[in-house]
Amino acid sequence: GNSVTQMEGPVTLSEEAFLTINCTYTATGYPSLFWYVQYPGEGLQLLLKATKADDKGSNKGFEATYRKETTSFHLEKGSVQVSDSAVYFCALSDSTTSYDKVIFGPGTSLSVIP
């Protein structure tokens, strides 16, 4: 079946540090991949997406590249800010099941300290 694995948190970084959150996936078909972000007390929001191999999704300084050969979709940001403190979820949807049925990873909590 389809699944998503993320690095365990919590992750604590100083402001302006480089961020990497690892994500790997297992899928039976050709999935689309996503990163969602959840700020404290809020619902999830789509941060970025990639729909095919070698695509790079980017938004708000965050980037992730769809690597089919390593089944990975690692999230990166060159310089984090305090406002980036949130929980980050890697996710996929697969056309062999349903595009609407999104499988979420367990989430990685990020705290950025001044």
Partner 1 sequence: DAGVIQSPRHEVTEMGQEVTLRCKPISGHNSLFWYRQTMMRGLELLIYFNNNVPIDDSGMPEDRFSAKMPNASFSTLKIQPSEPRDSAVYFCASSFSSGGQYNEQFFGPGTRLTVL
**93 is a site residue for partner 1 (CB under 8 A):** yes
Q: What does the alpha-carbon distance between residue 24 and residue 39 come to, in Å, rounded to a whole number?
A: 23
- Alpha-carbon distance 72 to 26, whole Å? 9
Give yes or no for residue 77 binding partner 1 (CB under 8 A): no
* CB 39, min distance to partner 1, A: 10
| Contacts to partner 1 from residues 5-44, by CB under 8 A | 32, 34, 41-44
Q: Taking every pair of C-alpha atoms in the chain, what is the biggest distance, in angstroms?
A: 45
Q: Which amino acid is at 59?
A: N
Name the residues that contact partner 1, by CB under 8 A. 32, 34, 41-46, 49, 51, 89, 93, 98-102, 104-107
